[in-house]
Structure 1
Amino acid sequence: MREVFPRAKQILYGEYYYRSSGGDVGFDPEFSRMTTEEAFRIHAKNATMALACTEADKIICPTAFQASRFPDLFRSRMSIIHEGVDTGRIKPDPDPTLSLASGRRLDRSNPVITFINRRLEPLRGFHIFMRALPKVLAEVPNAEVVLIGADEAGGYGPKAPSGMTWKQVMLAEVQDCLDLQRVHFMGQIPHEQMLAALSISTAHVYYTYPFVLSWSLLEAMTSECLIIGSDTAPVRDAIVNGQNGLLLNFFDLEALSSALIHACRDPKMFLPLRRAARETVLRHFDRDSRCRPAWLQTIHEVQPSLKFRTSA
């Protein structure tokens, strides 16, 4: 970029700096075995990012955990600014319904457990969630489960074995213990439909390896969902256990099952956590009042003479 635009100021979006330890790599021993060759490959993935960082006038990371992954030598030019959530548009729906492909409609009359990610994969805790479901559905016979996300190859983490998808792998493991009439795989759906799912959610599960924080977590918080999340560094950037959600050991199936059963049986108990979740987003991740002004201030600092409109 510097060779093409030599006089331009550069603000770099620093999404993630890979390491062979302390992050997503090697976190889950079921799917990751670290070797020297793998460590070298992961280190080499940062070559372009590191070069870009040396040229940047400013580096913006969306969360504290993501910023912490970068080498110390870049910290003096780094700020933590999230892109922000449109809290005016994303908010609890007072009378929500969710249409399923079967023609059924789900609402708040029965407990609904939601799980959302771009792709269904272990890096986002899909395997842990699926293994926790049999006990939940057995103990709460009127509970429904909604999973949103692509069932296809790709994603951030390891590939499924033998050309399968992770959905196929996990169903082969647990489907004999599940009432699949109550487990709804919706694939990728329009954003408005996803927000409808969040509005009917009794409990929203967000698990992740130490990696980039998903937008879906913040949108679930903005929708006043009860967040049941993994006690991993990126989730702790948004959730404080017992204050605006629940954090559990990523690998503890019993803890996840028990938390979901409790949430389904006594949803009113968790109303304060739901409201606190939205308040957290309003205070720290609101696009218009927090994040956009911080971005514009950064642009002014880097290039004071730049003129632009500040209205939405």
Structure 2
Amino acid sequence: MRFLFVHQNFPGQFKHVAAALAARGHEVHALGVNKPAEPVPGVRHALYREPAVPPMDVTTPMAAAMAELYSKVARGEAAARAMLAVQKSGFEPDVVVIHPGWGEAMFAKDIFPHARLITHAEYFYGGKDGDIAFDPEFSKPSIGGMQRVRIKNTHLLHALNACDAALTPTQYQKAQHPGWALDKIRVIHEGIDTRRFKPDANASVQLKSAGLTLRPGDEIITFAVRQLEPYRGYHIFMRALPLLQKLRPNARVIIVGGDGNSYGAAPPAGKTWKDIFLSEVAAQLDMSRIHFVGRVPHAVLTQLMQVSAVHVYLTYPFVLSWSMLEAMSIGCLIVASDTAPVREVIEHGRNGLLTDFFDVEKLAHATADALARREELAPLRAAARETIVKGYDLHDYCLPATLALMEEGWA
């Protein structure tokens, strides 16, 4: 069979399945805006240009939403031109697999009407128990807000309508989509490599700036996100630190994440969410025991989780981070937000501990209590890893299920 993958940052979620299809003898091509950090074995990769979007008047919220829609249509057009070039080269795919989040799927069926189109239905905005207006500090329900959400979903609706099948990582993410599309959507997680993400009693991490070497057994609290921003609970975590340090004065806090903004409202011009919420509590903190390490290589993040005594994960009702599942696979003792995507994986008191997203004091007490009861709570670590091994393992479940979807209907 012939497969074409389209992802603006290929391979993204398609890394393992694209390589596996090529290894099984299929002809696999891919399109993306950026050159992969490492080539995917057996996959022929081509680039297309990110479209230049002309300046638009975005002085009103609705105008800003329309400008965002324009960028999605422009990217869909750019991807369509790249698909036409692939077609003119003589490659006619049997299956086209696209992440539609940036607009790339909008015109795919016009180019390849006879190919089976599979999309990655990562998220749909405005669903029940979703992220919109979840945090009143940053967003409140309004007619204008819902109008912007409808525009924000436009390109996703086109993808859902055009696709023959879609896959999404969790039941929560599936449930956010409109009812008429649910029969198209399969729940298959991208998979966690439990052979790689596993406990290591001999792990160590050097914090050169502090002259420290961290090892399992140390009183280490980890908090790791792509960007330090409200969607991933950074503001809540920072506000919990003054009390947490009073309760556990010997603990060290390792904070992983960039200064940018991936989701939700952007910070005021010239500022970062990191600095805004740090400055809010800095006078109450012992900063010698709090370490901001920025974004780190995945191998270093894995080692940090392997030495972690308690790993804190907070999120709005939104896309569930791979990092939480990797932490569970490593056997971390996890204190997490009691939000819908987390509850799908963590059962309070069995394989982790849950706390109200907004309750700063409860988060501090739950984390301090987990540190104090580390030995007693060791069974939660084992249960966390077992959850991932049995339900989210890349090699034994997720990849085979994804391959079955890709090859479905073809002998």
AA paired with 2:357? F
CA distance in 2 between counterparts of 1:240 and 1:261 reads: 19
Question: In the alignment, which of 137, 142, 145 is matched to residue 245 of structure 2?
Answer: 137
AA paired with 1:119? Q
Question: Identity of aligned pairs, percent?
Answer: 44
AA paired with 1:203? V
What is the aligned partner in structure 1 of residue 71 from structure 2?
none
What is the aligned partner in structure 1 of residue 403 from structure 2?
296
What is the aligned partner in structure 2 of residue 98 from structure 1?
205
Equivalent position SS for 1:160: coil
Q: Is the 8 A contact 2:350 2:380 kept in 1?
A: yes
**Match status 1:124 vs 2:232:** yes
CA distance in 2 between counterparts of 1:111 and 1:43 reads: 46
Q: Is the 8 A contact 1:112 1:143 kept in 2?
A: yes
Unaligned stretches of 5+ in structure 1?
306-312
What is the aligned partner in structure 2 of residue 160 from structure 1?
267
Q: Is the 8 A contact 1:114 1:201 kept in 2?
A: yes
**Match status 1:2 vs 2:109:** yes
What is the aligned partner in structure 1 of residue 57 from structure 2?
none
What is the aligned partner in structure 1 of residue 337 from structure 2?
230
What is the aligned partner in structure 1 of residue 158 from structure 2?
51
CA distance in 2 between counterparts of 1:30 and 1:51 reads: 32
Q: Considering Cα pairs closer than 8 Å and 6+ residues apart, tell me whether 1 or 2 has the greater RCO.
A: 1
For residue 298 of structure 1, report the CA deviation from its aligned partner. Answer: 1.1
Q: Is the 8 A contact 1:20 1:42 kept in 2?
A: no
What is the aligned partner in structure 1 of residue 36 from structure 2?
none
Structure number with larger C-alpha Rg: 2
What is the aligned partner in structure 2 of residue 68 from structure 1?
175
RMSD of aligned alpha carbons = 1.2
For residue 110 of structure 1, report the CA deviation from its aligned partner. Answer: 2.6
Q: Is the 8 A contact 2:127 2:176 kept in 1?
A: no
What is the aligned partner in structure 2 of residue 149 from structure 1?
257
Question: In the alignment, which of 197, 216, 221 is matched to residue 113 of structure 1?
Answer: 221
AA paired with 1:118? R
Deviations 1:204-235 (A, max 9, x none): 11110000000000000001001111110110
**Equivalences for residues 163-242 of structure 1 within 5 A:** 163-242=270-349
| Counterparts in 2 of 1:117 and 1:205: CA distance versus 1, 3 Å | same
Equivalent position SS for 1:264: helix
Q: Is the 8 A contact 1:123 1:156 kept in 2?
A: yes
Equivalent position SS for 2:407: helix
TM-score normalised by structure 1 residue count: 0.94
What is the aligned partner in structure 2 of residue 308 from structure 1?
none
Deviations 1:248-268 (A, max 9, x none): 111111111111111222210
CA distance in 2 between counterparts of 1:229 and 1:140 reads: 18
Unaligned stretches of 5+ in structure 2?
1-107
AA paired with 1:229? A
Question: In the alignment, which of 113, 122, 141 is matched to residue 15 of structure 1?
Answer: 122
AA paired with 2:410? P
Equivalent position SS for 1:16: coil
Equivalent position SS for 2:377: helix
Q: Is the 8 A contact 1:116 1:216 kept in 2?
A: yes
CA distance in 2 between counterparts of 1:89 and 1:150 reads: 24
Q: Is the 8 A contact 1:90 1:222 kept in 2?
A: yes
**Equivalences for residues 23-38 of structure 1 within 5 A:** 23-38=130-145
CA distance in 2 between counterparts of 1:138 and 1:155 reads: 32
CA distance in 2 between counterparts of 1:101 and 1:46 reads: 45
**Equivalences for residues 206-285 of structure 1 within 5 A:** 206-285=313-392
